[in-house]
Amino acid sequence: MKNIWSPVNEINSETNNIREWSSKQILEYGLKELISVKNAIEKVIPECEKVADIIIKRFKEHGRVITVGAGGSGVAGMSVMRELPQNHRDINPDQFFYKVAGGVEIFNPLGCEELEDSFERGFKDMKDLDLNKKDVILLISASGRTPYILGASESAKKNLAYTVGVLCQESELSEKVDLPIFIDVGPEILLGATCEKAATAQKHILDMIMNVVVVRLGLTDKNICRARLVHEKAKIRDRFFTNKN
């Protein structure tokens, strides 16, 4: 195995003395982190374009697009995928959805984070979906070594689904997917807090890819979503733009 994850790679030498910083210094460093996210994302635009094209092709073949993650990375995927069928009424929610390690248990106060350590659970969650070669699985992991994600990846590959790794460290997952998207954001402000910069980068990558997908598939009216009219805001917007046009 060429790429083995190690917490050594997560040490941020710039923030060793963060407890001596002023509140303003901590806030300003946080803004600097956003710039590093932007720079890292710029480098993977070609990979994102390729993934978007694959999703578009397989969507037309009635394939499914599924994000799979654990912890903050899983929630990043969930936040993107749960919005798509709401914002775009021509999307079948059975075609675009998410899986998070632990399922609804992640909403418990401590999130049941230990469930990310089950390779078997990840493998089974994918097996239960009856995947096929039309499906695209977006595996999201900051470290790229989460057992749940590795199990899901192995199961997806076994069933011929196209696998994409969205990760922030070159590690095991890089070598187990058809296409890795390595977002080199560097170490977090606080070691272990990968729900911050890493998850932010992963969510933005997913947003970017899905924006390409819905525009190229003609699911928008110019730059306006054709939302499901399920809540008052959507109904107000719909009336406004219908009257305007």
The enclosing H or E element of 128 equals none
Q: How far is CA 241 from the centre of its chain?
A: 31
170 is catalytic: no
Contact 90, 219 (CB under 8 A): yes
Contact 166, 138 (CB under 8 A): yes
- Single-letter residue type at 244: K
Give the pair of three-digit tokens for residue 121: 């659970």
Among the options 83, 113, 154, 175, which is catalytic? Answer: 83
DSSP line for 60-123:
HTT--EEEEE-HHHHHHHHHHHTTHHHH-TTS-TTTEEEEETTGGGGGSTTTTGGGGG-HHHHH
Tally Cβ neighbours within 10 Å of residue 167: 30
Beta strands 179-182 and 96-100, pairing class: unpaired
Residue with tokens 């994302």: 41
Residue with tokens 């993934």: 51
Among the options 10, 33, 47, 116, which is catalytic? Answer: 116
What is the DSSP-derived secondary structure letter of residue 18? Answer: G
116 is catalytic: yes
Please give the positions annotated as active site. Answer: 83, 116
